[in-house]
C-alpha cells in the first residue's frame, strides 16, 4: 500500500504554482509549504488531518531533480471535465504537453486521460474511467 508519493523539484515557488493549478481540478490542495526545507504537501481538499498524499521536495543529495524514463504518476479525476481542466491548468502553469485529453485504448469503461510534464520534467496523467 502506498502511503504517499514524493516528487522532486528544482524550485519550490515554480513547482508549487504548477501543482496548485494542476491539482485544483482534481480536488487536491496545498496542505503546507516550508520554503526553508524545500517541502510542499498536497492532499484532498476535504482531508482535514494526517499526512499529505503528495509531497514535493528538493532532492536530499543536493543534485538537480530529474525524471525517470518510463516513470509516470497518474491521478484519478472525478469526470472528463476534471481531466480537461487539469490539462488546461497544467499547461497554463508552465507544464508541457505529453498528450491532449482523450479516450485511450478500447477499455470498458473507457479510459479518458491527459498527460503533461511538470517544470522538473516529471510525467503526470489525470484520468477518468467512464
pLDDT 10s digit of each residue in the chain, 130 long?
677 899 999 999 999 999 999 999 999 999 989 988 899 999 998 765 566 789 999 998 889 998 887 889 999 999 999 999 999 999 999 999 999 999 998 999 999 999 999 999 999 999 999 8
97-102, Cβ contacts within 8 angstroms, sequence gap of 24 or more: 98/123
pTM: 0.88
Pair 95, 56: CB distance under 8 Å: no
Pair 53, 103: CB distance under 8 Å: no
- Bridge partners of 115, per DSSP, are 99, 125
Contacts of 75 (CB under 8 A, 6+ apart): 23, 26, 28, 86, 124, 125, 126, 127
Predicted confidence at residue 10, as pLDDT, reads: 94
Predicted confidence at residue 47, as pLDDT, reads: 66
Domains of the chain: 5-59+71-129 (3.10.180.10)
| Dihedral-angle region of residue 35 (phi above 0 means left; psi in -120 to 50 means alpha; beta otherwise) | alpha
Predicted confidence at residue 49, as pLDDT, reads: 59
Between vectors from CA 80 to CA 79 and to CA 83, what angle results, nearest 5°? Answer: 95
Predicted confidence at residue 60, as pLDDT, reads: 85
Residue in this structure with the C-alpha cell 491521478, named with its chain if needed: 75
Predicted confidence at residue 103, as pLDDT, reads: 97
Amino acid at each position: 500500500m502506498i502511503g504517499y508519493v514524493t516528487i522532486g523539484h528544482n524550485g519550490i515557488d515554480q513547482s508549487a504554482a504548477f501543482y496548485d493549478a494542476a491539482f485544483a481540478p482534481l480536488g487536491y490542495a496545498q496542505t503546507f509549504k516550508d520554503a526553508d526545507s524545500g517541502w510542499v504537501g498536497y492532499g484532498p481538499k476535504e482531508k482535514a488531518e494526517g499526512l499529505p498524499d503528495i509531497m514535493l521536495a528538493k532532492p536530499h543529495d543536493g543534485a538537480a531533480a530529474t525524471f525517470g524514463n518510463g516513470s509516470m504518476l497518474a491521478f484519478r479525476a472525478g469526470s472528463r471535465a476534471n481531466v480537461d481542466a487539469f490539462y488546461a491548468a497544467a499547461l497554463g502553469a508552465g507544464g508541457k504537453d505529453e498528450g491532449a485529453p482523450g479516450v485511450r485504448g478500447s477499455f470498458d469503461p473507457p479510459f479518458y486521460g491527459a498527460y503533461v510534464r511538470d517544470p522538473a520534467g516529471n510525467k503526470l496523467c489525470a484520468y477518468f474511467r467512464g
